Structure 1
Amino acid sequence: MKKIPNETQLLKKALVVGEAYAKNRGFKTFSASDASKHKVECIYRLLVNDKLITPLPADGEDLLSMKHKLAVWLRNKLPKDHELLR
């Protein structure tokens, strides 16, 4: 897995966008005390379930891979001139 530029910032933004998407789908919002890894896994699984991202192989479903997948998902959704893509 190749690290992409601004991956950390893309992941943070992906969590915000993913949480808004989950809320629009009828899920309750995450509380401030929810662990980041819990948010990553929930949003990843929701996007896979809705076929917005392709699932990782079962033996490759680890936290780092899920984070990377969310960052790539958001990178592909942003306009070409967005500041996170520079």
Structure 2
Amino acid sequence: MKKLKNEAQLVKKALQVGETYALKRGYANFSATTSANAKIEALYRLLVLDKLVVAMPPDKEDVQGMKHKLAIWIQKVLPEDHPLRKDS
């Protein structure tokens, strides 16, 4: 798995957009005490369920892989002229 140039910023943006997406889908709001890793896993699983992200094999699932999948997803969803998309 090749790391994207600005993967950390893409993951941060994916969390922002993903939380909004999850709320629109009826997912309960994340609490202020929910860890970033828990949010990443929940959003990854929701996107896999909705077939917006291809699932990793169960034995290969880890937080790093989930972050990478979220970064790839948000990179595809962002508009062409978005700064995060241009840098990658």
Structure 1 unaligned regions, length at least 5: none
- Is residue 10 from structure 1 mapped to residue 2 from structure 2 by the alignment? no
Structure 2 unaligned regions, length at least 5: none
Distance apart, 1:80 and its partner CA: 2.1
- Is residue 45 from structure 1 mapped to residue 54 from structure 2 by the alignment? no
Q: Which residue of 2 aligns with 1:33?
A: 33
With the length of structure 2 as denominator, give the TM-score of the two structures.
Answer: 0.93
SS at match of 1:34: coil
Distance apart, 1:56 and its partner CA: 0.5
Give percent identity, aligned residues only: 55
- RMSD across aligned positions (CA): 0.8
Paired residue total? 86
With the length of structure 1 as denominator, give the TM-score of the two structures.
Answer: 0.95
Distance apart, 1:61 and its partner CA: 0.4
